[in-house]
Each structure stands twice: as C-alpha cells, then as structure tokens.
C-alpha cells in the first residue's frame, strides 16, 4: 500500500509547520499591538502635569500586554495571519514524499 505524506526539510510535518507559523505570526502581532496600544494608553490616561507612580505604570503595562495578546489570539488586525501565510509559502517548495507502508 502506498501513502502520500507531506513532510518538510528537517522531518517536520505540514501540520506542525502550520502550527509553528501561526504561533509566530500571533506572537509578532501581539508585540506590535502592545507597542501601538501602549502608546495610545499613555497618551490618553496621563493628565498634563501629573506624573504616574511606578505601580500604576506597571499595572497599565500588564493590562495593555493582556489586551494585545487577547486581540492577537482572536485574529487581531490580520498581520499575524499574513506572516503565517508567508512562512508557510516559503516552505511549500518541497514535494510530497511517497512512503510504502508494510502490511
């Protein structure tokens, strides 16, 4: 019996490669969103002439990081998917291998 198995260089499968690409895209998008939203949060929450204490800054940073990660996990603005597609396309140049299965 013959079976077609798609594998990539290094012995990884297409499913594992897809999972890694999606994770990398999501993590990049979360970092990007955290930087964008952090700047917006600082611009709209700081009162002119008033300095925040360190604990308020830390909690605000944690909140923005959690918000950005949540947005990225739920699809975000689509940059993560674009990165994942680009990573997968880069690995598409390998042909499926034919493997003979013993009965």
Predicted TM-score (pTM) of this structure: 0.63
Burial level of 25, CB count in 10 A (0-12/13-18/19+)?
buried
pLDDT score recorded for residue 25: 92
Q: Tens digit of pLDDT for each residue in 50-75?
A: 777 777 777 778 888 888 888 888 88
Please tell me the predicted confidence (pLDDT) of residue 4.
42
To the nearest whole number, what is the mean pLDDT of the chain? 77
3-state secondary structure of 4: strand
């Amino acid at each position: 019996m013959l079976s077609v198995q798609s594998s990539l260089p290094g012995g990884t499968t297409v499913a594992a490669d897809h999972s890694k690409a999606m994770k990398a895209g999501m993590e990049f998008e979360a970092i990007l969103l955290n930087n964008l939203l952090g700047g917006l949060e600082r611009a709209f929450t700081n009162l002119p002439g008033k300095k925040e204490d360190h604990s308020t800054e830390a909690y605000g940073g944690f909140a923005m990081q959690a918000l950005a990660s949540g947005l990225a996990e739920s699809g975000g603005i689509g940059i993560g998917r674009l990165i994942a597609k680009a990573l997968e396309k880069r690995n598409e140049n390998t042909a499926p291998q034919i493997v003979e299965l013993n009965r």
